[in-house]
Structure 1
Amino acid sequence: MARIAVIGAGTGAMAAAARLAVAGHRVTVYERTRTYGGAVGRVERDGFSFDTGPGLLPLPAVFRDLFVKTGREPLEECVDLVQVDPSSRHVFADGTGAVLPNASRAGAVAALDEALGAGAGQRWGDFLVRAREAWDRTRRPLLEEPLWPDWQVLGEREPYPSVPHKRLLRTRRAATLAEIGAWELRDPRLAALLESHALAYGLDPRTAPASTAVLPYMEYAFGTWYVRGGLRELARALYERCTARRVEFVFGAEAVGILEADGRAAGVEFADGTTAEADVVVAGIAPGALARAARGTAPRDTDGVAPQPASASRLTVLMALRGARPAGTAHRTVVHTADREGELDALFGPAGALPADPTVTVLRPDDAALVPDPGHEAVTVTATVPAPPAGRERPGGTGLDAHADRLITAAERAVPQLRDRLLWHEVRTPADVAEATGADGGAVPAPAFAAAGGRLLHPGNTTRLPGLYTVGGWSHPGGGLPHAGMSGALVAGLIVEGPEFRGSR
């Protein structure tokens, strides 16, 4: 039985802790804040409740597997997991809209043909078939196995089978998500639908590799899910699973150093000067915090993969509304900008500016647990924004408040009479994300993707320092709730079975 110190109480860290405890190890989780969950937070006020992180759950099978393998109670006995149907509603710049069913390629084809004209749905359906091929080619090495020593193969190979595109005397294949939209979907509304999946993770579709096509495929293949009471309930259930397996939690413990002895990790040093000895250290913290704790030795580049560049964060507006949620309201609505190029130029340009017309995601859960009574509604509006450089907030003090007002204006296209119904609202900025997660600038990690020279891979879960492992969104296989859960499984496997571990089969 080893003494294992886990730094951070995010989803990936708790997933690893629960699995390691079941394997017989003595596990202690040290968290610098006063609660668990990391990005999966909650705000409560006047009887209203809001998620401050992810609002929907893809790939629930990751957590079903975790709960089955760490106890007798399956996931569905610990949380009320429901499938969201329709999966999403889209409001496009030209005023047209489409409502897409959950986990149904045929249903999506029919809905898009009806909303956007004959042929649009078929082009989307054909695209999903090609996206499935990219998923099948990359699923195991990107999600279920430790990062290969020859990861360059993943970086060089584009798994998405692009359709040949003739342009003048040349034949080309789409290498980016934007090129798929332009050359294969051939409708600006379908292109906006496609690109919104990348933008939600802070990725520029003009540079994101074609393999990011797996994002919409995952929704249609495995569905979109919600946990009643909010996604914070999933974090609560995971925390309780850990404590039931005798994982100890120490809150208010900020790790500032990794102890070493005999050339391997030997414990953790904290901001108050105290230390905790350990045989193994699992760090579920962002790259900047880990580099500082490791005295600047950058242990995460073991595999030759640098931390994924993350210049994007999220701005979220939590809104308490008078009046009941209308029957038939979609849980999620994406309101697309009228100026996609302008939005992308602003967000991903050298200066990292706030766009004048943002794409926003509006979440309107049908959940009585989120409101004081049936005569009110809790609405969350989110948009991607640049993450300010480390140590510096975005200049212009009220800039984010002004941008939050733009988000509300955009959301009015999805929620009629929104401002008339508004009781109050709170704005969550990148600074709030940074406070919750410890990530410099409040940056949010994206999942790992193949191609692009390995630019969108994440460092492997082992490090240069024996006995030190990394877990969570900034490690392989990257950001997002299911990916963080997968990282916990990979780290537990590497510790329990050793470096020959190759993932569960």
Structure 2
Amino acid sequence: MARIAVIGAGMGAMAAAARLAVAGHRVAVYERTETYGGAVRRFERDGFAFDTGPGLLTLPAVYRDLFVKTGKEPLEDRVELVQVDPAARHVFADGTDVSLPNASRAGVVAALDEALGGGAGERWGDFLVRARETWDRTRRPLLEEPLWPNWQVLEGKEPYPGVPYKRFLRTRRALRLHEIGDRELHDPRLAALLADCALAYGVDPGTAPASAAVLPYMEHAFGTWYVRGGVRELARAVYERCLERRVEFAFGAEVTRVLEAGGRAAGVELADGTAAEADFVVGTGPWRLGGMLPSRDLYGAGDVPAEREDRYPGRVVVCLALRGAREPGAVHRTVVHAADGEGDLDLFRHGVPPELPTVLVDRPDDPALRPGPDHESVVLTATVPAATEYDWAAPGAAAAFADRMAAAAERAVPGLRERLLWREIRTPLDTERETGAKGGAVPPPALAAPEGVLHPANATAMPGLFAAGGWSHPGGGLPHAGMSGALVAGLIVEGPEFRGSR
């Protein structure tokens, strides 16, 4: 039985802790804040409750597998999963409105044909077929396996099988996401549908590789799910599973240094000067983890570098407490697309919040989130520059941007302004405080291709030291964080020969 110290109680870290405890190891988690879950948080006031992190779950199989591998009770015995239908309503800049069924290609094609006309549904359906090929080519190396030693091959050929087209007497294929929109979808609304899906994951839709097509494909193929009571309930379930497997948690315990002995990780030192010995250490984001090892490099010269976290954007979340019941027929999620798509790109180009942002509007029909049937809990989310690029603490900055988000949301929530009781605004500064991520940035998922996104491997250059969570392979998002925990546990239990889940 090995002693294992885990830094942080995020979803990836807890997934690793539960699996390692079941394997017979003694696991202790050190969390600098007073609660678990990382970015999966909840804000409560006056009987209202709001998810301030992810609002929906994709690929629930990742957490089903976690519960199967760590105990007899399946995930559905701990939380109630509800498949959201429609998956989302989309309100485009020109006023077009379409609701897309959940996990139904035929239904999506029919809905788009009816709303957009001109064979739009067929073109989107054909795109999803090509996106599936991208998923099939990248699923194992980018989600289910430790990062390959020859990871450079993932930065080689673009895995998306773009439709050939002629340009300057040469045959070309889409290498970037915007080229798919321009050359294959032939409708600015379909292009917005594609680009804004990437934007929601914190991926620049202006420069994203064509392989980002896997992001809408995942949501289409595996559905989007709501956790009754809020996604925070999933974090609670994972935390309780850890406790049942005798994982020890220390909250308010900030790790400041990784201890080293004999050339390998030997434990952690806390801010109060106390030390905890360990045979293995599971760390948090590699960029921050490197600061706990000032005397040596965390990764070798040939590894994926641990880049600054704040090179990626963050999110503004606005929690709205509304009087009045949710109207009949309201959908769970509405995407209000920006009138000016170029504005959304300014946050990547210049670090400027968009004047007219694309806004996700979540309106869960869940009595657990409201004080009574005559009230409604609504969450607005927009992708924005990290706090190191934009001063979210400047007087009026957050409130002014929240006003613009609410103005967009009025297209999805009837009478929003008149119904508002109060609001809570959360910026990247709150994300940084809760997760420690520089500037409150949110990690994107890994994407293959020459212009893709890869995160550092879970195994580091120091023996016995591993990294889990969204800033490590395979990147951000609830399913990816859960898989990072599975990969770390496999590497510790089975050693370097571990090749991933089967």
- TM-score, normalized by length of structure 1? 0.97
Distance 1:467 1:302 in 2: 19
- The structural deviation recorded for 1:302 is 6.6
User: In the alignment, which residue of structure 1 is the partner of 2:285?
Assistant: 286
- Mark the CA change 1:183 to 1:488 in structure 2 (over 3 Å): closer, same or farther: same
Of 52-61 and 171-180, the range deviating more from structure 2: 171-180
User: In the alignment, which residue of structure 1 is the partner of 2:32?
Assistant: 32
- The structural deviation recorded for 1:401 is 1.6
**Post-superposition CA distance 1:361-409 (Å, at most 9, x none):** 000001010000011000000000000229x844733212211110000
State yes or no: 1:103 paired with 2:100. Answer: no
Distance 1:434 1:175 in 2: 33
Distance 1:382 1:326 in 2: 21
State yes or no: 1:427 paired with 2:425. Answer: yes
- The structural deviation recorded for 1:304 is 1.7
Other structure's SS at 2:448 match: coil
**What amino acid is the match of 2:397?**
G
Distance 2:335 2:287 in 1: 32
User: In the alignment, which residue of structure 2 is the partner of 1:15?
Assistant: 15
User: In the alignment, which residue of structure 2 is the partner of 1:177?
Assistant: 177
User: In the alignment, which residue of structure 2 is the partner of 1:380?
Assistant: 379
Conserved in 2, the CA contact under 8 Å of 1:302 and 1:463? no
State yes or no: 1:404 paired with 2:402. Answer: yes
**What amino acid is the match of 2:306?**
P
**What amino acid is the match of 1:504?**
S
Distance 1:224 1:412 in 2: 24
User: In the alignment, which residue of structure 2 is the partner of 1:205?
Assistant: 205
Q: Which runs of 5+ in 2 are unaligned?
A: none
Equivalent residues in 2 for 1:388-399, closer than 5 Å = 388-389=387-388, 393-394=391-392, 396-399=394-397
**Post-superposition CA distance 1:198-220 (Å, at most 9, x none):** 10011111211100100111111
User: In the alignment, which residue of structure 2 is the partner of 1:120?
Assistant: 120
**What amino acid is the match of 1:496?**
V
Conserved in 1, the CA contact under 8 Å of 2:343 and 2:357? no
User: In the alignment, which residue of structure 2 is the partner of 1:151?
Assistant: 151
Distance 1:16 1:395 in 2: 35
Distance 1:281 1:492 in 2: 11
Other structure's SS at 1:320 match: strand
Distance 2:393 2:437 in 1: 19
User: In the alignment, which residue of structure 1 is the partner of 2:466?
Assistant: 469
Distance 2:13 2:102 in 1: 30
Residue identity over aligned pairs, in percent, reads 70
Conserved in 1, the CA contact under 8 Å of 2:286 and 2:467? no
Alignment partner for residue 494 of structure 2, among 468, 480, 497? 497
Conserved in 1, the CA contact under 8 Å of 2:7 and 2:31? yes
**What amino acid is the match of 1:402?**
A
**What amino acid is the match of 2:410?**
E
Q: Which runs of 5+ in 1 are unaligned?
A: none
User: In the alignment, which residue of structure 1 is the partner of 2:358?
Assistant: 359
Distance 2:303 2:489 in 1: 22
- Mark the CA change 1:298 to 1:401 in structure 2 (over 3 Å): closer, same or farther: farther
Equivalent residues in 2 for 1:240-255, closer than 5 Å = 240-255=240-255
Other structure's SS at 1:299 match: coil
Distance 1:2 1:85 in 2: 45
Conserved in 1, the CA contact under 8 Å of 2:392 and 2:427? no
State yes or no: 1:487 paired with 2:488. Answer: no
Conserved in 1, the CA contact under 8 Å of 2:285 and 2:467? no
Q: How many residues align?
A: 500
Conserved in 2, the CA contact under 8 Å of 1:64 and 1:75? yes
Conserved in 2, the CA contact under 8 Å of 1:89 and 1:333? yes
Distance 1:2 1:11 in 2: 22
**What amino acid is the match of 1:319?**
L
- The structural deviation recorded for 1:340 is 0.3
Equivalent residues in 2 for 1:428-467, closer than 5 Å = 428-452=426-450, 455-467=452-464
Other structure's SS at 2:89 match: strand
Distance 2:391 2:6 in 1: 29
Distance 1:5 1:35 in 2: 17
Conserved in 1, the CA contact under 8 Å of 2:30 and 2:250? yes
User: In the alignment, which residue of structure 2 is the partner of 1:51?
Assistant: 51
**What amino acid is the match of 1:443?**
A
Other structure's SS at 1:250 match: strand
Distance 1:343 1:215 in 2: 18
Conserved in 1, the CA contact under 8 Å of 2:34 and 2:251? yes
Distance 2:393 2:178 in 1: 31
Distance 1:458 1:120 in 2: 35
**Post-superposition CA distance 1:268-324 (Å, at most 9, x none):** 0111111110000000x2344212111163414575212356320000100000011
Conserved in 2, the CA contact under 8 Å of 1:301 and 1:459? no
Equivalent residues in 2 for 1:197-276, closer than 5 Å = 197-276=197-276
**Post-superposition CA distance 1:152-204 (Å, at most 9, x none):** 11111211000012234232211111110111001000000011111001111
**What amino acid is the match of 1:10?**
G
**Post-superposition CA distance 1:414-442 (Å, at most 9, x none):** 11110000000000010100011100100
- Mark the CA change 1:359 to 1:296 in structure 2 (over 3 Å): closer, same or farther: farther
Distance 1:65 1:467 in 2: 25
- Mark the CA change 1:81 to 1:296 in structure 2 (over 3 Å): closer, same or farther: farther
**Post-superposition CA distance 1:314-340 (Å, at most 9, x none):** 001000000111121110000001110
- TM-score, normalized by length of structure 2? 0.98
Distance 1:299 1:401 in 2: 40
User: In the alignment, which residue of structure 2 is the partner of 1:41?
Assistant: 41
